[in-house]
Amino acid sequence: MGATEGQMDLLRFATAGSVDDGKSTLIGRLLFDSKSIFADQLEAVEKTSTDKGHGYVDLSLLTDGLRSEREQGITIDVAYRYFATPNRKFIIADTPGHVQYTRNMVTGASTADLGLVLVDARHGLTEQSRRHAVLLSLLRVPHLVLCINKMDLVDWSEETYEKIHAEFTQFATKLNIPDLEVIPISALNGDNVVDRSENTPWYHGPTLMHHLEHVHVASDRDLVDTRFPVQYVVRPKSDEHHDYRGYAGQIAGGVLKRGDEVIVLPSGMTSTISGIDLFDREVDEAFPPMSVTVRLEDDVDVSRGDMIARVKNAPKPSQDIDAMVCWMTNEPLRPRQKLAIKHTTRSGRAMVKDIQYRLDVNSLHRDQEAGELGLNEIGRVQLRTTVPLLCDPYSKNRTTGSFILIDEATGVTVGAGMINSGS
């Protein structure tokens, strides 16, 4: 287990909230109460708070260093922050909440283990909080936390908490949300963020930090279907290793063990795993999201973009792809358009065969009349690729089930896709 403990102790979570829901204060509070900020940062924040005449330390200042850049018109897509407690390491993907930033939320949440939706206790669920939940469920983020913030401004009313809780739970039943936690907090005062609050004797669930530290994410990874996209072939030219030939990459699913019979796709050649190497040592087995180098017993032809899988459980190579696509650029996506596509370590070209519908991310309505997808819109699209993709449905594997679309002329990423099926 040693090799992966460090990897399993990492939680990636995405936060989404409207501008005034207190998201910056909440992230500041997590960083502050988990002692993940430096004394000089805190002093600077205390000084600015005093200069502004606040009677409290404005923790949102910790995360709002980006605001001045935003005001200058520089767009910041997703801000990533790192912090750690003795129990776990965290990466926060902090995404802007507005409708016009759907693509940023898709970027920030696509790799998240958990999504955090913040609502203001005074206003309850808004169209925006519903949209965030829809996007998190579409992106198959396995855990969701609804933080009902500013509870101090509704006198810690259990009734308000229960009302929002019930409304959200009812809404969530329409979505694919396997795990939901609803926590009443005051980010400003720190109630139920890291420490339990005396103001909520009626709430018996965990604090936010306790939940983030203990939510179980290892079982969210697909350990059944072995998928190893080859990133590059390792052939050292040194005398000492002149016979060494390994295939390096990051495991996208399943468990690889020495002695396993495997198939290399798309060629269909079979072999057996003779060894699995980490940077400095050999291991008996490896699983997601470890990066390893795999050695095979036979001298088969393997190159970048190939995939190693189990003989009896391999993805079907497909060139006809049915996917949900989030469009990320001003020029709309239209039928017959040609784009470059990148799927795991494989690259090719794709043509848009058909746009079946555009999805309204607020109401889940499917507009089947839509002839194109505009900036930040999501729709179901049929693609035909020049190379077969070794893919799985996104619902089974978020790595082999996703791809990006690239404008060949500019090299800019213009779309992100989640595969429904391939054939």
For residue 327, name the pLDDT band (cuts at 50, 70, 90): very high
Mean local confidence (pLDDT), 402-419: 93
Average pLDDT over residues 94-99: 69
CA 119 to chain centroid, in Å, comes to 21
Would you say 393 and 401 are in contact if contact means Cβ atoms under 8 Å apart? yes
Which residues does 1 contact at the CB level (< 8 Å), separation at least 6? none
pLDDT digits (tens, 9 = 90+) for 52-86: 666 666 666 555 544 444 444 434 456 777 888 88
Task: Say what the pLDDT of residue 64 is.
Answer: 53
The least confident of 241-250, 256-265, 324-333 is 241-250
Domains and CATH numbers, the chain: 2-220 (3.40.50.300), 227-310 (2.40.30.10), 317-422 (2.40.30.10)
pLDDT tens across 265-305, in order? 999 999 999 999 998 899 999 998 899 999 999 989 999 99
- Quick one: average pLDDT of 162-176? 91
Average pLDDT, the chain: 85
Contact 389, 383 (CB under 8 A): no
- Residue 120, token pair as written in the block: 């203001």
